[in-house]
Chains A and B, each alone.
Chain A
Amino acid sequence: MNSLKMGILRYSRVMRTHQPHKQIKPVALILWIFGTLSTCAYGQSNTPTALYQRSLAATCANCHGTDGKGAPNGGMPLINHLSKKQMLEQLLAYKAGAKAGTIMPQLCKGYTDEQLAAIAQELGSHE
């Protein structure tokens, strides 16, 4: 129960303090946050944190498929071959304007770095 409460607190703290316009933080900090994210069983929502993280990642599913499993030959670039690290790097690069695209740079700017890290954790490939 304690760990569950900690999970909620940690998540609430992270989510409530989001500031979309903050400058990109040092990569080390983002990777640290990345490391603290829920690593529970794939496709399960057994804790509040896992559920919030899964529902956050589900904002991507409209274009990239449920749990990141995109429709093959559906016309949208597939993402589920990317490792968690590769995915986070790409999302941050879109957000920073370092990677070109049509809609992705616009969408990535709407998420905090912590949220992008949570999404990569959730949708990056699970070997």
Chain B
Amino acid sequence: MNKRREFLGHGIGMLGLLAGASGPARANLQSAEIVVIGGGYGGATAAKYLRLFSNNTARVTLIEPNASFISCPLSNLVVGGSKNLTELTISYANLSKRHGIKMMQDSALQIDPETKRIKLISGQIVPYDKLVISPGVSLLMDSIEGLSNANRAGVTLQAWKAGPETIALHKQLSAMRDGGVFAISVPEAPYRCPPAPYERACQVASYLKQHKPKSKVLILDANQDITSKGALFRKVWAQNYPGLIEYRPNQNVIAVDAKTKTIKLEIDEDVKADVLNLLPAMSAGDIAVKTGLANSNGRWVNVNFLNFESTAQKDIHVLGDAIQVAYAMPKSGHMANQHAKVAAAAIVAELNNWEVNPAPVLTNACYSFVSPTQAVHVASVHQYNTTEQTFKPVPGAGGLSSEPSLLEGEYGWGWAHNIWADTLA
């Protein structure tokens, strides 16, 4: 009996060797189970484009806990009160109805890259051949002492993922006394959406100008200077919001006292504020870190930029804010959507046994609203550099708006409506 089992074992091993001279037989495009974790700008786009690029033949599952997509871009307009969150909320229905993607409203608890199985919070086990993770960022609450407690006490909140916190922050702003201080702290880069803290300052200042003109926004920036669109923001602050926005660079927030609403800074004296919108340092989303993918400083995921496969695990592709970015590549929703298309095309090529596109291209376009209706943009184009095996911004391309305008505000909404459709419709 024992001998027979041993023999069988050997036999299976031999079969395995025969099946594929260089490892186990690979799944093909039609048979592969492709699973996407995370239905944000990166994940939802990846799911849709895996279907499009495979001529609707790939089997794609999207795991996302939220019932609807809520856009982080433009959510600062909700903080300032000129828009409602419902205007930024879109159904996931078309991904299944029009594109044949299997939707699972669930969260990934654990990934086993060896057996290629995902354990969901519901207890279900989902096997995969190819896995795409677009987990967004995790906020490192412990990087500011007392922040977790202050959050639990309802004193501080971040609103750095659009949703209930976005509305809650607007409520704190509306409840603030005239003459109050709305503090926004900016962590050291890289963090999700570089210009967003400064855009938020504009939206809050716009509200204050109208409703509470004796108040001010205080920006405590851990960086040496404004990290994006600096000259444009400075000009807008001086012209549109004089006395309403105070900007302090090199201000690293190290602690917060929820009882006294006091912010402790690394170097300068303590600051008191009425609304404390403290943004801690960030890392790749939990599931990426837990799976051992965050091999850049323990915070971000190194990827092969030709297919966005993690350098830590084969057949796991990581997109969006979670990756260790290339030089001058921002962590933005637009960029996540672009990562997704390169990854989707590469996965389709690999499963077809085709060479992966040797020269992918990425763009970034980011509109920031400096008032409820006027916007400025920053843009860049990133070409893959074969020698350096990374994306590099094309010198002389890209750039900034010359000044804020209503036209760019319209384009900002045009960008939103189109990227939402490109991602979800």
| A binding-site residues for B, Cβ under 8 Å | 8, 12, 15-16, 18, 20-21, 43-46, 48, 51-52, 54-56, 58-66, 70-71, 74-77, 102-103, 106-111, 115
Contacts of A111 in B (CB 8 A): 361, 381
Number of residues on chain B facing chain A (CB within 8 A) = 56
Contact of B418 among A20, A55, A76 (CB under 8 A): A76
A63 touches B408 (CB 8 A): no
Given A76-B411, A110-B398, A111-B361, A63:B418 Cβ within 8 A: yes
A59 CA to B277 CA, complexed, in Å = 34
A50 CA to B380 CA, complexed, in Å = 25
Q: Identify the closest chain A residue to B421 (Cβ).
A: A71
Given A70-B418, A76-B414, A48:B355 Cβ within 8 A: yes
A66 touches B363 (CB 8 A): no
Question: Is B69 an interface residue, CB under 8 A from the partner?
Answer: no
Q: List 23 A-B contacts (CB under 8 A).
A: A20-B396, A21-B395, A45-B54, A45-B345, A48-B349, A51-B345, A51-B357, A52-B359, A54-B53, A55-B342, A62-B337, A62-B338, A62-B415, A63-B415, A71-B417, A75-B416, A76-B411, A103-B411, A106-B397, A107-B363, A107-B381, A110-B380, A111-B361
Interface residues of B in 257-285 (CB under 8 A from A): none
A98 CA to B305 CA, complexed, in Å = 34
A65 touches B422 (CB 8 A): yes
B418 touches A109 (CB 8 A): no
**Nearest chain A CB to B247's CB is how many angstroms away?**
26
Residue among A15, A59, A60, A110 facing the most chain B CB atoms (10 A cut-off):
A110
A74 CA to B416 CA, complexed, in Å = 8
Given A62-B334, A76-B417, A46:B55 Cβ within 8 A: yes
Q: Mark B330-373, 1 if CB is under 8 A from A, else 0.
A: 00001001100110110011001011011111110100000000
Please list the 9 inter-chain residue pairs (A to B) with the smallest Cβ-Cβ separation, ordered nearest first: A110-B381, A76-B414, A75-B414, A15-B359, A110-B397, A74-B417, A55-B345, A109-B397, A110-B394
